Amino acid sequence: MTALPAASDSFRAIWITSDDGKRAKPATVQEITMGDLMDGDVTVKVTHTTVNYKDGLAITAKGPIARKFPMIPGVDMAGTVLASDHADFAEGDEVILNGFGVGEGHMGAYAPYARVSGDWLIKRPDGLTGAQAMAIGTAGYTAMLCVMALDKAGIQPDDGPILVTGAAGGVGSVAIAILAKRGYHVVASTGRPEEESYLKGLGAAEIVDRNEFGGDVRPLSREKWAGAVDAVGSKTLANVLSQVKYGGAVAACGLAQGGDLPSFVHPFILRAVQLIGVESVMSPIPMRKAAYDQLAKDLPMETLDAMTQHIGFDDLLDAGHQIVEGKVRGRLVATY
Ligand code: NDP
């Protein structure tokens, strides 16, 4: 097993700085030491990470993700505990971390070592490798939270089709796979028609052009969807809401198109539509464990593998730019 490095040992990290302490500059690669890491009661040898849309925003400085400087981005990690003063973790434990402000306000996963709070860790679930845990990552675990939200709203496969927006992205890909495994008729909305066979391979029954949700929003449109998982926001979410069937529900988790919501109250007051917000970063540990238990049942590992591309540390910066440009398909796993 890797030994705990000395305070002066150096290694490469993705590094974000700021000239004014407020606005981040685009990330670079920097040689740092253990002494540059922030305090935490558990030291982790990071073995795998991933690139989510949010990580792309942090790397490119196109969104206000890093809140302290300097910062190491990377909101998801899998690894092995090297040292622990936390009662729940001991040297050698295999752990994962999703969110909790890591990669934003606390140095994150884009370095081979991380010092974090044990309160943010969970033991890696049985049967999941570090690479698979990161193939799921925040995007996949958020997709599961979205499906659990639709469950809670009482949506059943017999109620009608479920729309997934941002389908070829990380959240969308995992949501399609989970919903299809559960027997839903899944309709995938994408701007990448060339990904039709990929999306059908994940379990989508139909593909729709995302431009169908880009027009002017009406208070109500023809009822089409029993429910939806939306990773896109803005006009898309507003148009989707106008098309949800009476009593249906939309789990909204993202803003890839924009953070605005130019909608009307009509779907809520005339069709009893529910709009459910899904948040993964600060969700409590029991909810995370429930989501991972559910993922083990509902996400076939061969489907997860089919949506995953493997990269290395040296590819992280480029991958951050690619994901913000909407060019990444499915999920990325980086192995150090
Ligand atoms: P990805 O970049 O992998 O996927 C986003 C997808 O959205 C793209 O692949 C594309 O799908 C679609 N898209 C991109 N730009 C536009 C646009 N201008 N108009 C319409 N559709 C667009 O990102 P993730 O899956 O990692 O994350 C998706 C969203 O969810 C992000 O906004 C992210 O911040 C948010 N998120 C929120 C979480 C939470 O806790 N609430 C947790 C995780 C993610 P296609 O090519 O198929 O059209």
Q: What is the pLDDT of residues 196-205, one digit of tens each?
A: 999 999 999 9
CA distances from 14 to 109, 158, 219, 289, 331 (A): 9, 47, 46, 29, 20
- Closest ligand 1 atom to residue 330 Cα is 3
Which amino acid, residue 38? M
H-run or E-run covering 266 = helix 266-270
Q: What is the pLDDT of residues 311-330, one digit of tens each?
A: 999 999 999 999 999 999 99
Q: What is the pLDDT of residues 104-144, one digit of tens each?
A: 999 999 999 999 999 999 999 888 999 999 999 999 999 99
> Residue 126 has what pLDDT?
86
Q: Which two tokens stand for residue 218?
A: 């009406």
Q: What is the pLDDT of residues 47-77, one digit of tens each?
A: 999 999 999 999 999 999 999 999 999 999 9
Average pLDDT score over residue span 157-169: 98
> Residue 11 has what pLDDT?
97
Q: Which of 50, 53, 147 to mutate to test the pocket of ligand 1 (most atoms within 8 A of CB)?
A: 53
3-state secondary structure of 18: strand
Q: Report how far apart the first and last C-alpha atoms of the chain are (Å, whole number).
A: 14
Distance 168 CA to ligand 1 centre (A): 9
Helices (H), 65-217: 130-152, 170-181, 196-202
Closest CA to 129 of 310, 328, 316, 313: 310
Average pLDDT score over residue span 282-303: 92
Q: Which of 187, 229, 232 to mutate to test the pocket of ligand 1 (most atoms within 8 A of CB)?
A: 232
> Residue 3 has what pLDDT?
86
- Closest ligand 1 atom to residue 139 Cα is 43
What residue owns the CA closest to ligand 1's atom 11?
A: 166
**Could you count the other beta carbons within 10 Å of the beta carbon of residue 247?**
15
pTM of the model: 0.94
Could you tell me which residues come within 8 angstroms of residue 126 by beta carbon, excluding any fewer than 6 positions away? none
Q: Could you tell me what percent of the chain has a pLDDT over 70?
A: 100
Q: Could you tell me what percent of the chain has a pLDDT over 90?
A: 95
Average pLDDT score over residue span 98-108: 97
> Residue 321 has what pLDDT?
98
Q: Which of 146, 164, 171 to mutate to test the pocket of ligand 1 (most atoms within 8 A of CB)?
A: 171
Are the C-beta atoms of residues 235 and 214 closer than 8 Å to each other? yes
Tell me which residues have their CB closer than 6 angstroms to ligand 1: 52-54, 138-139, 142, 166-172, 190-192, 210, 231-232, 236, 253-257, 278-281, 323, 326, 328
> Residue 127 has what pLDDT?
85
